[in-house]
């Protein structure tokens, strides 16, 4: 810019070359993003379009779809058609599963935040050489498959499991406490599965926190509680937001955990949708349910981000 201002009349060769170089490098950068864009297009956008189209079709008797336009899938989400007089009756079954899934996801997010924050704070306040070891420990669960880990939980909490056997042996209880295939089991499984996704972004935020600011707040008469609420939490807000999103969204769509620990009795959205493509043989309904979930998440996200980001992240 300054070159152009200094010698504006005869645009120097150097400036021309520079402009050319900027243009080529911009083009090259765009080219570099192409593979990622192709992958997102083929495996992200295209399936979404298919889901969208399928949700407006009619279910074929043995799975698949018939190419015939219909909004039945969306109607079936809230209503059931009476077989005899063809009237629509309000059936909240799906809605209840959705609300319960939201509740599970919200509780999971809140508890993960409450457990994850002190953990991340502890990690971030260790000597730098120790911190990587703590991060490693947090990521150890990722080394084995979620399915295997969920089955392990099953063995721990079932009636003849570790906990019940231990309590029985100690004489604390005289008959096993039923934990498996309850809401408790699902909640426990979700917490276990998603806690690292909360801890890691919180840690990366807290690790960057300038602890001299904490000292400054103490110096200015802030008590421990005030330091936490007025300095540490506001400054780690990016990590809190990221952690909550990384826990809430996958928890909402969790499939394996509720399937195994809920025993197919306590359904969550993920299982419900999967059912439509399996035993339900109603692909359009499954597609509609998936899209409704996505829309709900987007709306929730919009309000969440609007409420949390505005206040803090200006500077």
Q: Which of 86, 160, 174, 219 binds other proteins (CB under 8 A)?
A: 219
Q: Which of 141, 234, 264, 278 binds other proteins (CB under 8 A)?
A: 234
For residue 26 the two structure tokens come to 């911009």
Least Å distance, CB 229 to other proteins, is 11
Nearer to other proteins by Cβ, of 28 and 225: the residue is: 225
Nearer to other proteins by Cβ, of 75 and 235: the residue is: 235
Nearer to other proteins by Cβ, of 124 and 190: the residue is: 124
Q: Which of 35, 61, 310, 315 binds other proteins (CB under 8 A)?
A: 315
216 binds other proteins (CB under 8 A): yes
226 binds other proteins (CB under 8 A): yes
Alpha helices in the chain (DSSP H): 2-6, 13-32, 34-40, 46-54, 72-78, 93-124, 128-139, 146-157, 162-170, 183-207, 211-219, 224-227, 233-235, 237-252, 256-261, 269-277, 283-312
Radius of gyration of the chain (CA): 27
On whether the CB atoms of residues 240 and 158 are closer than 8 A, the answer is no
Query: Quick one: which segment of 31-39, 104-112, 193-201, 225-233 binds other proteins (CB under 8 A)?
Result: 225-233
Q: Which of 32, 212, 306, 307 binds other proteins (CB under 8 A)?
A: 212
Is the Cα torsion angle 236, 242, 246, 252 positive or negative in sign?
positive
Least Å distance, CB 313 to other proteins, is 8
Least Å distance, CB 121 to other proteins, is 18
Give the torsion through C-alpha atoms of 238, 241, 243, 247, to 10 deg: -170
Whole-angstrom Cα distance, residue 129 to residue 228?
25
For residue 278 the two structure tokens come to 């399996």
Residue 302: count of CB within 10 angstroms of its CB: 10
242 binds other proteins (CB under 8 A): no
**Site map (CB under 8 A) of other proteins, residues 96-125, x = contact:** ------------------------------
What does the angle CA 117 – CA 122 – CA 125 come to, to the nearest 5 degrees?
120
How far is the first Cα of the chain from the last one, in angstroms, to the nearest whole number? 27
Q: Which of 79, 218, 255, 277 binds other proteins (CB under 8 A)?
A: 218
- Residues near other proteins (CB under 8 A) are 210, 212-213, 215-223, 226, 230-231, 234-235, 312, 314-315
């Amino acid at each position: 810019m300054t070159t152009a201002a200094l010698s504006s009349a005869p645009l120097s060769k150097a400036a021309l070359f520079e402009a050319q170089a900027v243009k080529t490098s911009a083009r090259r950068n765009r080219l570099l993003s192409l593979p990622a864009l192709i992958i997102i297009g083929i495996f992200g956008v295209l399936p979404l379009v298919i889901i969208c189209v399928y949700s407006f079709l009619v279910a074929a008797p043995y799975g698949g779809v018939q190419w015939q336009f219909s909004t039945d899938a969306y109607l079936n989400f809230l209503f059931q058609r009476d077989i005899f007089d063809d009237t629509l009756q309000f059936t909240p079954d799906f809605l209840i599963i959705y609300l319960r899934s939201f509740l599970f996801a919200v509780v999971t997010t809140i508890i993960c935040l409450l457990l994850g924050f002190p953990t991340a704070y502890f990690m971030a306040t260790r000597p730098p050489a120790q911190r990587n070891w703590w991060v490693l420990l947090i990521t150890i669960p990722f080394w084995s498959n979620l399915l295997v880990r969920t089955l392990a939980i099953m063995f721990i909490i079932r009636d003849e499991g570790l906990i019940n056997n231990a309590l029985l042996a100690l004489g604390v209880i005289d008959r096993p406490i039923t934990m498996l295939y309850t809401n408790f089991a699902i909640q426990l499984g979700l917490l276990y599965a998603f806690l690292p996704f909360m801890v890691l972004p919180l840690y990366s935020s807290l690790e960057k926190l300038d602890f001299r600011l904490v000292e400054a707040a103490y110096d200015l008469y802030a008590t421990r509680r005030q330091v936490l609420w007025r300095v540490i939490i506001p400054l780690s807000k990016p990590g809190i937001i990221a952690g909550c999103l990384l826990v809430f969204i996958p928890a909402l769509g969790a499939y394996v955990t509720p399937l195994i620990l809920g025993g197919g009795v306590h359904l969550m959205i993920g299982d419900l949708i999967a059912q439509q493509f399996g035993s339900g043989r109603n692909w359009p309904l499954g597609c509609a349910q998936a899209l409704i979930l996505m829309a709900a998440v987007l709306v929730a996200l919009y309000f969440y981000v609007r409420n949390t980001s505005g206040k803090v992240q200006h500077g």
